Amino acid sequence: MQPGWVKVYKDTDFYKAEIVRQVLIDHGIEAVLIDKRGFPYLIIGEVEVYIHQDNFQKAIEIIISSEL
């Protein structure tokens, strides 16, 4: 991960993390997923959503207001 990116969300469910990522993108915030689940057992570990640190406060507000 490049400097300046921070984790804003994590979950064990890939689809929940993808929904958060897509909602952030819909609000104009660039977001990426990092899948840290272990292969071949995709039930162990987490999927993390990262954004640029300049958008952190706005992203948190969006996540809370969207009840994600």
Number of domains in the chain: 1
Q: What is the pLDDT of residue 2?
A: 77
Q: What is the pLDDT of residue 38?
A: 78
**Over 90: is that where the pLDDT of 61 sits?**
yes
**Over 80: is that where the pLDDT of 12 sits?**
yes
Q: What percentage of the chain has pLDDT greater than the value 70?
A: 96
Q: What is the pLDDT of residue 42?
A: 66
CATH code (residue 38)? 3.30.70.1530
Mean pLDDT of 28-50: 88
Sheet holding 47-52, edge to edge: 5-11, 47-52, 31-35
**Residue span of the structural domain in which 54 resides:** 5-65
Tokens (6 digits) for 27: 């609000």
Q: What is the pLDDT of residue 37?
A: 85
